[in-house]
Amino acid sequence: MRRGWFLPIAAALGFAFLYAPIVSLVIFSFNESKLVTVWSGFSTKWYAELFKDPQLLGAAWLSLQIAAVSATMALVLGTLAAVALVRFRRFKGRTLFSGMVSAPLVMPDVITGLSLLLLFVAMESLLGWPQGRGMLTIIIAHATFCTAYVCVVVQSRLSDFDRSLEEAAMDLGASPIRTFFDVTLPIIAPALVSGWLLGFTLSLDDLVIASFVSGPGSSTLPMVIFSKVKLGVSPDVNALATIIIGIVALGVLGATILQLRARPKKARP
């Protein structure tokens, strides 16, 4: 077997496997017919239909708010954890801590969701907070697992950060706080932005954890879509899914570009 044509075919099959369903969904979102499986001509009427549906729009707005707030919380917590892991190299239980920080990456969503639900219920009966379940509990739950992602992204950036840059700034007369804002922050900023974008898209996508910890009147977009689909697929869901794919793709693309740019330029001769 020659490698010449084997690799391109393997790659093509792989990509087809991954993207054929998505492509068909995007195509059918422009279908005129009400029947999801029958193509009857190009139309954008389901997009128009979508924007007339207050339930969907409300859920989308809720999801965006949750994503923004939980990504921001995760950014702060994840960055602090990453700094602790990279900068204080030899503290007791470092290995345990770093393992625990990344555990949510591999934890099944069902377990994360269930455990958070139990925690919230227990906290409510013991402390009286958080009262009931809703947007707040979803935000906390999302921040929990997004923190792990932010931590991993920021950690990799910090670990190839040249400490002598900070020393050079201090040597030239900058106080430690000044040094952080003048040198450290600009250099790790791309990692922070890409960590935030990652958290944002993950939160926007999540169905399982949100289902566990949400309450009445606080259904996120994925939850609404899921319940709609159970009653039969309507083409406006295709349209909505296409829009979400677009947003997620932009987020991932942005994060990737920033990650690439953040890589130190190793142009030394």
Report CA dihedral (191, 196, 198, 203) to the nearest 10 degrees: 160
Nearer residue to other proteins within complex by CB, 110 or 165: 165
- Find the helix or strand (DSSP H, E) in which 103 lies: helix 94-106
By the rule CB under 8 A, 264 interacts with other proteins: yes
Strand, helix or coil at 40? coil
Name the residue nearer to other proteins (CB basis): 52 or 268.
268
Could you tell me the end-to-end alpha-carbon distance of the chain, in angstroms, rounded to an integer? 41
Q: Are 146 and 71 in contact (CB under 8 A)?
A: yes
In the complex with other proteins, the residue whose CB is nearer, 14 or 264, is 264
Count of residues interacting with other proteins (CB under 8 A)? 22
Binding-site member from 93, 216, 232, 269 for other proteins (CB under 8 A):
269
Alpha helix segments (H runs only) across 134-262:
135-159, 163-171, 176-179, 185-205, 208-213, 221-230, 235-262
| 89 makes contact with other proteins (CB under 8 A) | no
Given the complex with other proteins, which of 67 and 183 has the nearer CB atom? 183
In the shown chain, the binding pattern of residues 155 to 174 toward other proteins, with x for contact by CB under 8 A and - for none, equals -------x-xx-xxxxxxxx
Would you count residue 268 as binding other proteins (CB under 8 A)? yes
Place of tokens 């996120």: 220
How many other β-carbons are positioned within 10 Å of the β-carbon of residue 170?
A: 14
Report the site for other proteins in 173-202 (rule: CB under 8 A): 173-175, 178, 182-183, 186-187
Using CB under 8 A as the binding rule, whether residue 253 contacts other proteins is answered as no
Residues making contact with other proteins (CB under 8 A): 162, 164-165, 167-175, 178, 182-183, 186-187, 264-265, 267-269
